[in-house]
Amino acid sequence: MLSFKKSRANIATQEFAQLLPHEWAEAKRILPKQFTAKAGKLDYSYSPYLIEIVNNFAANSKITSTSILKGSQVGATQLVIETILGYTIDIAPTSILYLSESKIVAETDVSTRIDNMLYTTGIYDKIRPSAQFKHGKKTGNTKSVKEFAGGIIYAKGANEKPIAINAQILIFDELDKAKKHKFGDMVSLWKKRLSVYGKSKKELYSSTPQGDTGNRIYKEFLKGDQRYWFCECPSCKNEFSFSWSGNITKENGLIPDGVHNFKYTKNEQGAVIPESIGYACRNCGYLIKEEERYNVLLTGKWIATTTAKFRNSRSYYVPQFMSNFVSWEDICNEFIEAQNDRDRLKVFVNEVCAQVWEDRINQIDTKTTQLINAKSYAPLTIPNKLANDLGHGNIVMLTAGIDINKGSSGDETQGWAAITICGWTADNSCFVLAKGHIYGTIYNYGNVWKSLDEIINLDFYDENGVKYYINCVGVDSGYNPDKNVEAGKDGSVFDFVNKNNNARAIKGEDKISKKSLRFATGQTSEGLPLYLLDTTRYKTSLFNNLLISENADETQPPEFVNFPKAQEIGGLEYLNLNKKYKVAIKGNGFDESYYKTFNSEEPIFNKDKTEIILYKKINTRAPTHDLDALIYATAAKEFYASEILSVIKEKTYNLNLVLKYLEKFLAENGYSF
Ligand SMILES: [Zn+2]
C-alpha cells in the first residue's frame, strides 16, 4: 500500500504500462466533490479491500469473473468500476460492455460520472468525437457508445435486447436492481457477448442484494470462491472478518449464530450512545472503536473460504460497516429504528449487511440459535420478571394451540393431541410456556379430551401472584373424531369447543388471502363457528420472528419468540395426567428434536420469487405437529383480540391496542381480562 503512494508522485508516462489499475488510479484520478464523501486525490487506503478487486482487471490478470456482494456506499462504483473504465481507455484499450439496471441509468452513468472521471484524469481527448456517418447514424461519442483508440464502451440497459456485439470486459452494475428480462436469464444472455474472448474475458458483477429479482448477485457470489476480508484484532492479533451477526471462519465463511458483533448502549430516548459503540472481537472480547477502523482494515487480506465453481472466478463480500465513509453510529441507529418495521429491516439486511433477506426464512438453524437462546424459566410458569428484564414488559395474554391426530397403531379409538401454550407480552413477544403430546383415546370424548379440558382451564400465577388463565385456544378440526353427519354428530372437536368457552374450532387453508387479517370467520355445515387460517402467512411471520436477534444490550426487540431451556420437561408432566386419566405424555422437552419442527417445511415461491404461496413438507423425520400447535396458539391470540375489540366497540382490527388494553387491565385488577 504505502509503497504505491510513494511511487505515484513522479511516474513517467512510459511507466504507466506496467501499472496495476489501482496504481493508475492513485496516480491519475482526482475525485470531484459532487460525487464523493472524500474529494481530492484518489486514495485506496480508505478502501484497501477494493485493491485486489480492481486489479483483477489488469491487462495481464488471469481472473475471468469477479463478483461483489456488497452493501451500499462501499465505494465500488468509483474505486472499481470507474477505475476499470479509465485504466482500460488509458492503458489497456479493449471493448467494454457496461450494463446497468436500465438504458437511462446506463447512459446517465456514462455521460455524467464517467465523463467526469475522463476529464479529471486528463484522458477525455482519447475519446473519439461524434461524427455523422453517411447513413445518418451517429458514432464515436454518444450517450450509449464511447469510442477510443483500440477500444469502445457500450452502455446498455440490462433489460434491453442484447445487441450483436463482442466485448472483452463485461461490467454489470447493480445486477439485482435490473427488472426481469423478457428474453431469458439476464446474466447468461449478456455473458454470450464475451464468448469470443475465451479465457481472456473479464466479467464484473457488482450489486447490493435485493432479492426481489431472484438473488442474482448472491448466486454469483456462491459460484465464486467466497472471499472475506480478514483483519487483525488490535488487541489479541486474532484474524477476523466483519459481519453484523454470526461468525466468519476461514473454513466455512459466515456461520449464523444469532450473536451480534456490534455492541452499544442506548440513551433514554433509545438512540445509540456514540462513545459506547464497538465491534467485539470473538477471541478476546476487545471492543474495536470506529476510530480504529481505518487502521484495522489496512491489516486485512482477502481469504477464499471455498473453491470456485469455475476456475479463475473470485467473489467478494463487502458489507457497509467496512466502509470508512459510513459511520457505525448511523448504522446502529438504523438497526434500532428498523426493529419495528419489517420493510426497513429488509433494507438494513440488504444495504448494510449485504445479505439476502428471503434466504433468512430457511436459515433457522435448530442446533444453534433457538437452543442457545433458550431462557431459564420453568415450563408452566409465567416468567414476568424475565419478560421485563428482556424489555417486553409483563405477559398480558395466554393462548394454546391443539393439533388432533389419529393413532398409528391401527386401533381406531386411539390417537393423540399436540398442545402448545404461549404467553404474549404487550409488545407482542412470545414466551412458549409448555408443550407436549397426549396419547390415549380420542373417540367418545375419551381421556385425551378429558386431559385437554383440564389443561386449558388451569390457573397460572406470576411471581407477584397475578392470576392468569388461558384466554383462547385454537383446536384444529382437520381431523375430527366421531364426526357422523347421518347421526347428527359434529364430532369431538366441536364437543370440546361447546364445552370450553375459551376454545375455538379452526381449519387451516394453504392459500394466500389478500385480506388484511390472516384469519376469516366462517361456519361449519351445521352452523357452528369455524375460524379459517391462512397458515402460509402465519408460518412466514413465525419463521421471520424466530430469526430476530437479541439487542446488543441483551434486551430483545418486539415479536421475539422465547423457549424455556428445559430440554427434558415440556410442562405437562407436572399435571399427573397419566395417573388421573391414564394417558401417556410424550414429546417432552425443548430439545434438539423439538426445534426440528421449524425446519420441517420449506417455502414455495410464486413465479417472480416475490411471494411465498405455500409451505411444503421437506423433512419427514421432523414432525410438523409442534409447529402447527404453535401456529394455532398464535392465531388464537388474534381471534381473542378481535373478540375483545368487539367488546370494547373498536371497529378496526388493532392487535397492539388490545395488548395495551390487557396490560392496563392486569395492572389494575391483578387478574387477566
Ligand atoms: Zn481480539
351: left (phi over 0), alpha (psi -120 to 50) or beta: alpha
* Interval between CA 645 and ligand 1 midpoint (Å): 53
* Interval between CA 224 and ligand 1 midpoint (Å): 29
Residues 544 and 487 in one domain: yes
User: Any idea which residue has 459481519 for its cell?
Assistant: 243
* Interval between CA 283 and ligand 1 midpoint (Å): 5
479-520: pLDDT as tens digits = 888 887 777 778 899 999 999 999 999 998 866 566 778 888
* Interval between CA 318 and ligand 1 midpoint (Å): 21
* Interval between CA 233 and ligand 1 midpoint (Å): 5
Residues 247 and 315 in one domain: no
- For residue 607, name the pLDDT band (cuts at 50, 70, 90): low
* Interval between CA 635 and ligand 1 midpoint (Å): 46
pLDDT at 3: 42
* Interval between CA 240 and ligand 1 midpoint (Å): 9
Which amino acid belongs to residue 434? A
Residues 94 and 111 in one domain: yes
Residues 446 and 584 in one domain: yes
pLDDT at 122: 85
The span from the CA of 190 to the CA of 156, in Å, is 10
Strand partners of residue 507:
532
Assigned C-alpha cell, 583? 394417558
Assigned C-alpha cell, 660? 395495551
- For residue 545, name the pLDDT band (cuts at 50, 70, 90): confident
Residue 283 CB neighbours (<10 A): 13
Domain range for residue 153? 1-226+306-326
305-339: pLDDT as tens digits = 999 999 999 999 999 999 999 999 999 999 988 87
- For residue 664, name the pLDDT band (cuts at 50, 70, 90): very high
* Interval between CA 285 and ligand 1 midpoint (Å): 6
Strand partners of residue 138:
132
Predicted confidence (pLDDT) at residue 134 exceeds the cutoff of 50:
no
Residues 388 and 343 in one domain: no
- For residue 446, name the pLDDT band (cuts at 50, 70, 90): very high
| Average pLDDT for the chain | 86
Strand partners of residue 316:
68, 227
**Angle in degrees, 0-180, between the axes of helices 625-647 and 535-546, rounded to the nearest 10:** 100
pLDDT at 412: 66
* Interval between CA 282 and ligand 1 midpoint (Å): 7
Residues 552 and 603 in one domain: yes
238-293: pLDDT as tens digits = 999 999 988 899 988 888 766 789 998 888 888 899 999 999 999 998 999 999 99
* Interval between CA 46 and ligand 1 midpoint (Å): 22
Q: What are phi and psi of 210, to 5 degrees?
A: -120, -35
Residues 159 and 248 in one domain: no
Calculate mean pLDDT across residues 64-72: 97
- Is 561 within the bounds of a domain? yes
Q: Are strands 95-100 and 169-173 parallel, antiparallel or unpaired?
A: parallel
Percent of the chain at pLDDT > 90 equals 52
Calculate mean pLDDT across residues 468-472: 96
State the total domains in the chain: 3
Dihedral sign from CA coordinates of 458, 464, 465, 469: negative
pLDDT at 366: 46
Predicted confidence (pLDDT) at residue 402 exceeds the cutoff of 60:
yes
More confident residue, 67 or 669: 67
More confident residue, 145 or 358: 145
Residue 449 CB neighbours (<10 A): 25
pLDDT at 4: 40
More confident residue, 114 or 98: 98
* Interval between CA 249 and ligand 1 midpoint (Å): 15
* Interval between CA 320 and ligand 1 midpoint (Å): 21
- Is 59 within the bounds of a domain? yes
CA dihedral 98, 100, 102, 106 (to 10 degrees): -50
Which amino acid belongs to residue 162? P
More confident residue, 447 or 18: 447
Predicted confidence (pLDDT) at residue 363 exceeds the cutoff of 50:
no
Q: How far is CA 389 from the centre of its chain?
A: 26
DSSP one-letter string for 495-558: HHHHH-TTEEEEEEE-S---SSSSEEEEE-TTS-EEEEEEHHHHHHHHHHHHTPPPPTTS---T
DSSP one-letter string for 439-504: EEE-STT-HHHHHHHHHHT-EEEBTT--EEE--EEEEE-SS-TT-BTTTTB--HHHHHHHH-TTEE
Predicted confidence (pLDDT) at residue 139 exceeds the cutoff of 70:
no
* Interval between CA 289 and ligand 1 midpoint (Å): 12
Predicted confidence (pLDDT) at residue 67 exceeds the cutoff of 80:
yes
Assigned C-alpha cell, 570? 415440556
Neighbours of ion ligand 1 (CB under 5 A): 233, 235-236, 238, 281, 283-284, 286
Calculate mean pLDDT across residues 131-141: 56
Calculate mean pLDDT across residues 640-655: 89
* Interval between CA 245 and ligand 1 midpoint (Å): 16
Residues 414 and 298 in one domain: no
Please give the model's pTM, rounded to 2 decimal places.
0.59
More confident residue, 328 or 189: 328
164-182: pLDDT as tens digits = 889 999 999 999 888 777 7
What is the 8-class DSSP label of residue 666? H
The span from the CA of 561 to the CA of 269, in Å, is 25
* Interval between CA 566 and ligand 1 midpoint (Å): 33
Residues 396 and 530 in one domain: yes
- For residue 417, name the pLDDT band (cuts at 50, 70, 90): very high
Residues 203 and 97 in one domain: yes
Assigned C-alpha cell, 303? 481469504
- Domain CATH number, residue 27: 3.40.50.300
Predicted confidence (pLDDT) at residue 5 exceeds the cutoff of 70:
no
* Interval between CA 288 and ligand 1 midpoint (Å): 9
Q: What are phi and psi of 670, to 5 degrees?
A: 75, 10
Calculate mean pLDDT across residues 604-628: 75
The span from the CA of 208 to the CA of 206, in Å, is 7
Out of 3-12, 129-138, 269-278, 638-647, which region has the weakest mean confidence (pLDDT)? Answer: 3-12
Residues 433 and 294 in one domain: no
Residues 502 and 626 in one domain: yes
Strand partners of residue 152:
95, 147
Strand partners of residue 484:
489
* Interval between CA 279 and ligand 1 midpoint (Å): 10
Length of the chain: 673
Calculate mean pLDDT across residues 99-126: 86
